């Protein structure tokens, strides 16, 4: 997986810069983007590795692509770019900028009858308003259920390349924090179907599994809880990457999952087996 990433980046820059030198902003070829069908542009933009650019490179690329999209009235590319600026850019926007962009995205989706995009904006606006303390708990709870209903009604499979797994995780985690475990499991169960154990998606993969595990552990359904902890443990043991930070995190998660397994075994009176996992776990988290 890691070996293919440079090839993907090469293809991205060749798409944008043609046969000219790849990393010079001055050689950006607007015509390369203009010549692509709008449907192809949209998908490409949401998969473009903007996060791999520095802030200056992102800003220059974003502005030029947005200029093309606006001049041509390409509203789907405008949506993809503004969504990227809000949530996928290398530098997080301010809260004020986030709400301004969300209002613009909402307008684009409404004016062009983009049902999938409208549901995406509804989700992000719901979560942003709650965490910015702009919306009280009761209306937020209703909106969380409505957000899931929209995903389900429109078809989960239609949402990628938007980060459906992350959106579902956020819904499930909020319900988990509220100790409303039934809808939390429902949302996270769907997220589990879409999470990708890749170098880009490893963190969300673990978080989804760990939250499901925590619910089963809290409800004393230990067999299911241990099953999910073992999934995390196997993933952390076997994940292939050359990124030292990911390797460090995988080692930590080997420790956490082993200690969680030990706790659930001990709760069932399986002390010797629990002690083995506990000792192994504490070695990883030293």
What is the distance between the alpha carbons of residues 206 and 197, in angstroms, rounded to a whole number?
8
What is the distance between the alpha carbons of residues 142 and 204, in angstroms, rounded to a whole number?
25
Q: What percent of the chain has pLDDT over 70?
A: 90
pLDDT band at 22 (very low <50, low <70, confident <90, very high): very low
Q: What is the pLDDT of residue 38?
A: 86
Condensed to tens digits (0 to 9), the pLDDT of residues 169-214 reads 999 999 999 999 999 999 999 999 999 899 889 999 999 999 999 9
Query: Does the predicted TM-score (pTM) go above 0.95?
Result: no
What is the distance between the alpha carbons of residues 127 and 163, in angstroms, rounded to a whole number?
14
What is the distance between the alpha carbons of residues 26 and 18, in angstroms, rounded to a whole number?
12
Condensed to tens digits (0 to 9), the pLDDT of residues 77-108 reads 999 999 999 998 888 899 999 999 999 999 99
Condensed to tens digits (0 to 9), the pLDDT of residues 269-282 reads 999 999 999 999 99
Condensed to tens digits (0 to 9), the pLDDT of residues 39-85 reads 889 888 888 888 888 888 899 889 999 999 999 999 999 999 999 99
Angstrom CA distances, 85 to 2, 80, 105, stand at: 25, 9, 11
Closest CA to 188 of 224, 220, 222, 161: 224
């Amino acid at each position: 997986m890691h070996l293919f990433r440079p090839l993907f980046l090469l293809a991205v820059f060749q798409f944008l810069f043609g046969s000219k030198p790849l990393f010079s902003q001055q050689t950006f070829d607007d015509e390369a983007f203009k010549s692509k069908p709008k449907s192809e542009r949209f998908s490409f933009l949401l998969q473009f590795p903007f996060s791999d650019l520095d802030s200056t490179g992102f800003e220059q690329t974003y502005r030029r692509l947005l200029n093309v999209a606006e001049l041509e009235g390409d509203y789907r590319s405008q949506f993809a770019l503004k969504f990227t600026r809000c949530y996928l850019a290398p530098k997080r926007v301010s809260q004020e900028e986030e709400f301004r962009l969300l209002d613009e995205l909402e307008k684009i989706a409404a004016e062009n009858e983009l049902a999938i995009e409208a549901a995406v904006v509804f989700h992000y606006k719901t979560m942003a308003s709650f965490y910015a303390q702009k919306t009280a708990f009761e209306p937020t709870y209703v909106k969380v259920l409505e957000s899931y209903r929209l995903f389900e009604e429109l078809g989960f499979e239609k949402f990628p390349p938007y980060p459906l797994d992350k959106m579902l995780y956020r819904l499930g985690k909020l319900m988990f924090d509220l100790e409303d475990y039934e809808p939390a499991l429902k949302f996270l169960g769907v997220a589990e179907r879409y999470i990708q154990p890749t170098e880009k998606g490893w963190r969300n993969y673990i978080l989804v599994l760990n939250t499901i595990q925590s619910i089963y552990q809290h409800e004393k359904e230990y067999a299911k809880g241990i099953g999910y902890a073992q999934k995390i443990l196997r993933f952390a043991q076997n994940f292939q990457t050359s990124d030292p930070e990911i390797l460090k995190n995988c080692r930590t998660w080997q420790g956490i999952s082993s200690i969680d397994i030990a706790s659930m075994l001990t709760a069932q009176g399986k002390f010797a087996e629990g002690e083995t996992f506990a000792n192994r776990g504490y070695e990883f988290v030293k």
